[in-house]
């Protein structure tokens, strides 16, 4: 019954989790509020806050799991992709802890871990399945043949879906990160109020930079005519933006599902917390006869539980790294 300690520090969440035999015993996530004042994550500040948070987060994860640190059999950590300074804190901690406790180390790809979050809990997709992984930095359609046999069949050519949401919210004067706030206001608005363009990109790839510019010009034009435009129409603007981003994502996902003849369809990454996207997936699932999988909210945004579960499956394969491992800002599958 392997007990795995998972460590995540790729962006602005410091997280530690403990899983025993694939069952999650704890998942501690320390958010960083310091970036709100800057409208985005400041890498230098993020790594400093990770340094402050990492030991308390790990201690809390061990306490909540009701285990002793000597019960841990391996340390899994995010090696990349992410902010190098942030990754360095988690990687250094994992190496030091493993050295002190004489434990094996397991390096994890953050984007694979978002996909493997589906293996926490009872409801698991069957291989092969498709996973739409949408976060602040990535937008990918992943063909998942096995736990560590994944292929990116579609990706964004420019901005990520989360980035488009965060940049839109910045233009609307909302604090960072804007995705959850757009979600909140969208529930109160009319998604048909304003029409934004759907980019025509070949295959299963995405583009969000044209949409981002269209939204910016739309806000600038309307605000020039009526300075109170955003304030008076915030729910309708959020609902319309969210609807367009969701249809762009789901149209490509549907195209891929039909081409590959796959019926098990999953969502992952921070943007999969979005209410409109979750509802849209359910509706598409009913229409096309898909088995849909959406992670629990705490496993959508960055968390160490997904690192611990990925570490568990690598542990079963005997796939370990060593003390010479270094973080990677960019890390292919
Ligand atoms: O996976 P994640 O936590 O971090 C990265 O690896 O990037 O994703 C963060 C992204 C941000 O862009 C944030 O605005 C978005 O997820 N997000 C949401 C929601 N919750 C988080 N976007 C839309 N609706 C939400 N409820
Ligand atoms: Zn992420």
DSSP for 254-294, written as a single string: HHHHHHHT--EEEEESGGGG-HHHHHHHHHHHHHHT-EEE-
Task: Decide: 106 and 314 in contact? Cβ < 8 Å.
Answer: yes
Per residue in 156-181, pLDDT (tens digit) is: 999 999 999 999 999 999 988 899 99
Structure tokens belonging to residue 190: 């009319």
Name the residue of 27, 35, 142, 162 to mutate for ligand 1: max ligand atoms within 8 A of Cβ.
Answer: 162
Nearest ligand to residue 249 Cα: 1
pLDDT at position 279, please?
Answer: 98
Residues of the chain with pLDDT > 70, as a percent, come to 100
pLDDT at 121 over 90: no
pLDDT at position 333, please?
Answer: 87
Cα 256 from Cα 201, distance rounded (Å): 14
Per residue in 177-236, pLDDT (tens digit) is: 899 999 999 999 999 999 999 999 999 999 999 999 999 999 999 999 999 999 999 999
pLDDT at position 186, please?
Answer: 98
Task: Decide: 48 and 295 in contact? Cβ < 8 Å.
Answer: no
The residue-averaged pLDDT of 49-68 equals: 98
pLDDT at 40 over 90: no
pLDDT at position 38, please?
Answer: 85
Task: Decide: 36 and 106 in contact? Cβ < 8 Å.
Answer: no
Residue 2, CA atoms < 13 Å, CB-side half-sphere: 22
Cα 138 from Cα 80, distance rounded (Å): 13
Name the residue of 135, 212, 248 to mutate for ligand 1: max ligand atoms within 8 A of Cβ.
Answer: 135
Q: Report CA(131)–ligand 1 centroid distance (Å).
A: 16
Q: By C-alpha distance, which of 157, 166, 127 is closest to 139? A: 157
pLDDT at position 37, please?
Answer: 82
The residue whose CA is least distant from atom 14 of ligand 1 is 179
pLDDT at position 36, please?
Answer: 84
pLDDT at 106 over 90: yes
Task: Decide: 308 and 117 in contact? Cβ < 8 Å.
Answer: no
Please, what sign has the CA dihedral across residues 78, 80, 85, 86? negative
pLDDT at 98 over 90: yes
pLDDT at position 176, please?
Answer: 85
Q: Report CA(135)–ligand 2 centroid distance (Å).
A: 6
What mean pLDDT is reported for the chain? Answer: 96
**Distances, alpha carbon 13 to alpha carbons 5, 42, 53, 164, in Å:** 16, 13, 9, 20
**Distances, alpha carbon 272 to alpha carbons 101, 136, 147, 286, 294, in Å:** 36, 11, 20, 18, 7
Per residue in 233-257, pLDDT (tens digit) is: 999 999 999 999 999 999 999 999 9
pLDDT at 7 over 90: yes
Cα 12 from Cα 35, distance rounded (Å): 9
pLDDT at position 88, please?
Answer: 98
Task: Decide: 84 and 327 in contact? Cβ < 8 Å.
Answer: yes
pLDDT at position 39, please?
Answer: 81
The residue-averaged pLDDT of 13-31 equals: 97
**Nearest atom, ligand 1, residue 276 CA:** 24
Work out the pLDDT band at 277, boundaries 50, 70, 90: very high
Query: Is the CB of 271 within 6 Å of ligand 1?
Result: yes
């Amino acid at each position: 019954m392997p007990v795995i300690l998972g460590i995540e520090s790729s962006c602005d969440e410091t997280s530690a989790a403990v899983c025993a035999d694939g069952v999650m015993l704890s998942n501690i996530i320390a958010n960083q509020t310091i970036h709100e004042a800057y409208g985005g994550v400041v890498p230098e500040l993020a790594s400093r806050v990770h340094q402050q948070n990492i030991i308390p987060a790990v201690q809390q994860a061990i306490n909540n799991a009701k285990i002793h640190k000597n019960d841990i059999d391996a340390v899994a950590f995010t090696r990349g992709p992410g902010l190098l300074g942030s990754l360095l804190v988690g990687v250094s901690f994992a190496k030091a802890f493993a050295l002190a406790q004489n434990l094996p180390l397991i390096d994890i790809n953050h984007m694979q871990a978002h996909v493997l979050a589906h293996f926490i809990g009872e409801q698991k997709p069957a291989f092969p399945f498709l996973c739409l992984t949408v976060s602040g930095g990535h937008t990918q359609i992943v063909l998942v043949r096995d736990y560590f046999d994944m292929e990116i069949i579609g990706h964004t050519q420019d901005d990520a879906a989360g980035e488009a949401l965060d940049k839109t919210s910045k233009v609307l004067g909302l604090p960072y990160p804007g995705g959850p706030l757009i979600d909140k206001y969208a529930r109160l608005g009319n998604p048909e109020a304003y029409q934004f363009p759907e980019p025509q990109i070949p295959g299963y790839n995405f583009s969000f930079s044209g949409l981002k510019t269209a939204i910016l010009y739309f806000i600038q034009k309307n605000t020039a005519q009526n300075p109170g435009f955003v304030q008076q129409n915030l729910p309708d603007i959020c609902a319309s933006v969210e609807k367009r981003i969701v249809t762009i994502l789901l149209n490509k996902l549907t195209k891929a599902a039909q081409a590959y003849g796959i019926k098990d369809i999953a969502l992952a990454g921070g943007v999969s917390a979005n209410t409109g996207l979750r509802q849209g997936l359910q509706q598409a699932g009913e229409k096309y006869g898909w088995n849909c999988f959406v992670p629990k909210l705490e496993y959508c945004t960055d968390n160490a539980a997904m690192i611990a579960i990925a570490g568990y499956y690598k542990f079963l394969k005997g796939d370990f790294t060593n003390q010479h491992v270094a973080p990677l800002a960019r890390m292919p599958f």
